[in-house]
Amino acid sequence: MWMGVVTTMPGVIEAALSEGVIGRAADQGVFDLELFNVRDHAQDKYGSIDDRPFGGAPGMLMMAEPLAASVDQALARAPDMQTTTIFLSPQGETLTESTVVDLASESALILVCGRYEGVDERFVEQYVDREISIGDYVVSGGELPALILIDAIGRTLDGTLGNDASAVDDSFRDNLLEGPQFTRPRSWRGRAVPDVLTSGNHAAIAQWRRDQALLRTWQRRPDLLTQRRFSDAEKAWIRRHTHKNPQDGV
């Protein structure tokens, strides 16, 4: 996979990826990452990339041409003609695990990071294929959302994690949160690890983890279960532990 990031602050992306598994994955060629500085495409001698909005609204907007030139540069570098351009925006669809899995199947992505009060809508209309939000709140620019997306996509790619099964077991896969986990010592301040996890019975351990994932999701994020088709065994388990029929909704 190839990812290009269009940004006014390439140093933020570089610094964040200088450590950790995602940065190592990029260094090892699990995926390719290139940065494109919007300031390299300023249209005047002052290096301007933003201007006042028409209509007198407060703040400054990023101008269309520097962004367009940056994306054109990224498109020329992308290894695949079928490149999806994503604008990180609070107005976009909310990022979910299913979105991450969908994007991870792409061969080339361009992530556009906004700044200031937003960007000229004409750029969005002409260049952006998809707008994505990381949640119902506002941050100072698109760099942090882009890093979240790079991290989420990167960890799904073969070779990023030491154990590829780790990504499969993450929260939100199958619309379930991950259940509780424990490490040594077996007893800590009077709290013992559940016996089943030290039993050596792999089938029982797998069932316990599945049950705990169901229970935790039911307790903390019941909205996720509205998107899930329950097996008969799961329906029976939920009735026993919550005294509620899954078909009644959550």
At 99-132, the pLDDT tens digits run 999 999 999 999 999 998 899 999 999 999 999 9
Q: Which residues of 233-250 are buried (b: 16+ CB within 10 A; e: fewer)?
A: ebeebbeeeeeeebeeee
Q: Are 112 and 71 in contact (CB under 8 A)?
A: yes
Both tokens of 43, joined, read 């249209």
For the chain, which residues make up each domain, given as ranges? 2-154, 173-248
Reply yes or no on whether the pLDDT at 250 is more than 50.
no
Instruction: List, in order, residues 6 or more apart from 137 with CB less than 8 Å away.
Output: 90
The residues facing 84 across adjacent strands are: 109
Catalytic residue among 34, 97, 106, 170: 170
Q: Pairing state of beta strands 32-37 and 61-62?
A: unpaired
CATH top class, domain 173-248: mainly alpha
Q: Taking 70 as the threshold, does the pLDDT of residue 234 lie above it?
A: yes
Q: Which DSSP state fits 235?
A: H
What does pTM read for this prediction?
A: 0.86
Q: Can you tell me whether residue 177 is helix, strand or coil?
A: coil
Task: Please say if 65 is a catalytic residue.
Answer: no
- Residue 179 has which token pair? 């259940």
Contact of 140 with 90, CB cutoff 8 Å: no
Q: Mean pLDDT across the stretch 216-232?
A: 87
Which residue is catalytic, options 10, 50, 66, 90?
90
Residue in the block written with tokens 């301007």: 48
Annotated catalytic residue: which of 143, 155, 211, 246? 155
155 part of the active site: yes
Is 170 noted as a catalytic residue in this protein?
A: yes
Among 32, 117, 131, 178, the active-site one is 117
Class of 2-154 in CATH: alpha beta
Please say if the pLDDT value at position 200 is more than 90.
yes
Task: Give the mean pLDDT of 160-176.
Answer: 65
**Closest-CA residue to 167 (of 4, 3, 25):** 25
